[in-house]
Amino acid sequence: MKITLLGAAGEVTGSGYLVETARARVLVDFGMFQGRGSGNGKNAEIDPVVPHRLDAVVLTHAHLDHVGRLPLLRGLQCAIHATRPTCELAELIMMDSARIQEGDAARENRWRERAGEEGEVKPLYTADDVKPVVERFRGYAYGEEVEVASGVVVQFQDAGHILGSSSILMKVREDGQERRVVFSGDLGQSCMPILRDPVPCPPADLVFLESTYGDRNHRPADQTLAELKGILEQSAWQKRKVLVPSFAIGRAQLLLHV
């Protein structure tokens, strides 16, 4: 078995793993690179992923940095496996990304035309590229095992990050032996409203662990909520407006709930 890290190694975004066995090639996540220096050039590089040679794609969750490059897998013939909520959210997120890219490209081309510059800026992908991806989705429940490729079985376990998020237990049978690999995906905190706590990691031979905040301790959630409450009460007393930036999926729902 060979596993190639395609992103999110030494950086936060662009998650992706290519798992290769003697009988199968399975892609786990294929996210968009975001932030400085992550223009279309970097996102357009899909080697060593060859769409028509993949036997399966498996997704941990629907955030753009985990699914955002799937529309670039033009000619993909295999199924894309995920939890049912992830399938639904991923479609919305990729469509939104396509619309933003198309709008940005149109504005840039208008500016270039007015400035007399040559060359046309094209979006990384469009809504038409998203539709074939969505047709490949296959949805599952937590705890359900499915053989996604010859000798490769996966199970989705609740990661407590966003709706439908999962850690993936992959069982690979090769040369008469079974190896267990866990891809944690993004992990949520325990004791949070709306979402269940992350399921503890099962026994495994190899673990790929999300560690964005692995070098720091988070204070208890009730302390953070108490601080937010104090800010809102003070702003109301002073008759001021409060602007709360938030990720659209996950954090926004949590804020509305509390």
The topology (CATH level 3) of 2-208 is Metallo-beta-lactamase; Chain A (3.60.15)
Contact 236, 194 (CB under 8 A): no
Yes or no: say if 33 and 72 are a contact pair by the CB < 8 Å rule: no
Residue 2: alpha-carbon gap to chain centroid: 22
C-alpha dist (Å) from residue 95 to 118, 225, 254? 29, 33, 23
Residue 18, number of CB atoms within 10 A of its CB: 18
| Average of per-residue pLDDT across 247-256 | 87
Q: What residue has token string 């439908």?
A: 164
Q: What does the pLDDT look like over 127-153, one tens digit per residue?
A: 999 999 999 999 999 999 999 999 999
Neighbours of 17 (CB within 10 A): 23
Task: Please say if the pLDDT value at position 20 is more than 80.
Answer: yes
Structural domain boundaries in the chain: 2-208, 221-257
Cβ contact 32:13 at 8 Å: yes
Q: What is the mean pLDDT of residues 111-115?
A: 91
pLDDT above 80 (res 38): no
pTM: 0.91
Chain-centroid distance, C-alpha 157: 15
Give yes or no for residue 36 having a pLDDT over 80: no
Contact at 8 Å (CB) between 12 and 215? no
What is the average pLDDT score of the chain? Answer: 93
**What beta strand segments (E) does the chain contain?**
2-7, 16-20, 25-30, 56-58, 80-83, 137-140, 145-149, 152-158, 166-174, 177-183, 206-208
pLDDT computed for residue 192 by the predictor: 83
Segment 184-240, tens digit of pLDDT:
999 998 888 889 999 999 999 999 998 887 788 888 888 988 999 999 999 999 999
- Look at residue 37 in the predicted model and tell me its pLDDT: 61
- Taking a C-beta distance cutoff of 8 angstroms, is the pair 149, 20 a contact? no
pLDDT for residue 75 is more than 80: yes
Q: Of 217 and 60, which is predicted with more confidence?
A: 60
What does the pLDDT average to over 236-247? Answer: 92
Q: pLDDT at position 128, please?
A: 97
**Tokens, residue 252:** 């926004």
pLDDT score at 9: 83
168 near 28, Cβ under 8 Å? yes
The 8-class DSSP code of residue 122 comes to -
